[in-house]
Amino acid sequence: MFFELLIRFLASCKLSVIAFSHKILTIPYSILKNKSTLCPVENKYTTKNFKETQKLGKELAKKILSMPPVSAAVVLGLQGELGSGKTSFAQGFAKGLKIKEKILSPTFVIMKRFKIPANSKFENFYHIDCYRLKNEKDILELGFKKIILNPKNIVAVEWPERIKGILPKNAILINFKFIDENKREIELINYGTT
């Protein structure tokens, strides 16, 4: 259900105020219906500056908030080089969740929790930065398993490749690539297809 709704959102997401370019793969309905098959969500967006990257994050957050309840946390893996837009996206995403606090990359503290105001489905937004982790055990000691099992949580993980062995298979990987100094290509794919 989660991926069906996400695909519908992404298929309808023209975001004309920003003029994102995007590509949507055709996915047979039989794949979407089969809960054991991981849905190959794929969408590419080009942002011209950090404000557009934030806007994309904000729009995705709004759509996730409008989805029906889920059975575990919604997990986003934000992957890309240093300075590629991961934190800008997370800032916009937090704005879409109506979080007023300033969002900075939690590189030194590893994980920050923010309360999602006035939402009955989701209560917490966890922003995790795995850049400094030596191994998956480091994040497990912070209660990662419990966090991702709670359907009241939304989790954004920067540098998810450092904990790929423990990321849920239904995580959404968001890959950030430099095009030039300001432009970024942002691709959303299902983690289970990588």
Q: What is the pLDDT of residue 124?
A: 96
Q: Which helix (H) or strand (E) holds 55?
A: helix 50-65
Q: What letter would DSSP give residue 118?
A: T
Residue 23: both structure tokens together? 């590509």
Q: What is the pLDDT of residue 22?
A: 36
How do the domains of the chain map onto residue ranges? 2-193
Give strand ranges (E) for 27-152.
42-47, 74-80, 111-115, 124-129
pLDDT digit string, tens, across residues 59-108: 999 989 888 888 999 999 999 999 899 999 999 999 999 999 888 887 77
pLDDT digit string, tens, across residues 4-47: 555 555 554 433 222 333 333 233 333 233 332 233 444 889 99
Residue 64 has, within 13 A of its CA and on its CB side, a CA count of: 28
Q: Which residues are within 8 A (CB) of 83 and not within 5 positions of it... i.e. 6 or more apart?
A: 178
Q: Which CATH number fits domain 2-193: 3.40.50.720, 3.30.420.40, 3.20.20.70, 3.40.50.300?
A: 3.40.50.300
Q: Which helix (H) or strand (E) holds 187?
A: strand 184-190
* Sheet of 153-158, strands arranged across: 42-47, 184-190, 172-178, 74-80, 153-158, 124-129, 111-115
Q: What is the pLDDT of residue 77?
A: 95
pLDDT digit string, tens, across residues 161-174: 999 999 998 899 99
pTM, entire model: 0.76
